[in-house]
Amino acid sequence: MTNRGVMVSIDVNEDLNRSQVGSIKYSVLEALEHDPFGQKAIIIADADLHKRIQAIGNKLQEGHPIEAITEELANITGRWMPELPLNEKQTENIDQNKQMMNEEEKQELENINQEQSNHQKER
């Protein structure tokens, strides 16, 4: 658990297909919806990560120093998050598809994007 939420690792049967695992993860997320930390929960259904998180729990119970736990969390995060080069000179995002459209098509695409983003905010 962090100040941003909680990481929940679930151990699922390896014979389940991706859709079934997704349904289980969603059910867990729904169960945590009203918990203050659960609202931003990250649900994990990966065997390796599950074992790593169990190891963190064991280290906590054994009274290991916090550095051992944060190191393991850093390893987990490092496996999840790709390293991207820093781009100090960020260029404008040029939508090449828009460059190929005429003005009417551009406006239609813009209207669709606006409509979809408004619906997203209402949820």
Tell me the DSSP string of 40-54.
G-EEE--HHHHHHHH
The whole model's pTM is what? 0.50
Looking at the predicted structure, is the pLDDT value of residue 104 above 60? yes
Q: Which tokens go with 121?
A: 């905010």
* pLDDT score recorded for residue 123: 46
Are the C-beta atoms of 23 and 69 separated by less than 8 Å?
no
List Cα–Cα distances, 91 to 3, 100, 121, in angstroms.
33, 20, 28
Secondary structure (DSSP) of 68-90:
HHHHHHHHHHHHHSPP----SSP
The larger pLDDT score, comparing residue 87 to residue 6, is at 6
> In a 3-state reduction of DSSP, which class is residue 117?
helix
pLDDT tens digits, residue range 25-61? 999 988 988 887 777 788 888 888 888 888 888 888 9
State residue 5 phi and psi, 5-degree precision: 155, -155
Mean pLDDT, residues 6-30: 88
pLDDT tens digits, residue range 58-86? 888 998 888 877 887 777 777 766 555 55
The larger pLDDT score, comparing residue 119 to residue 55, is at 55
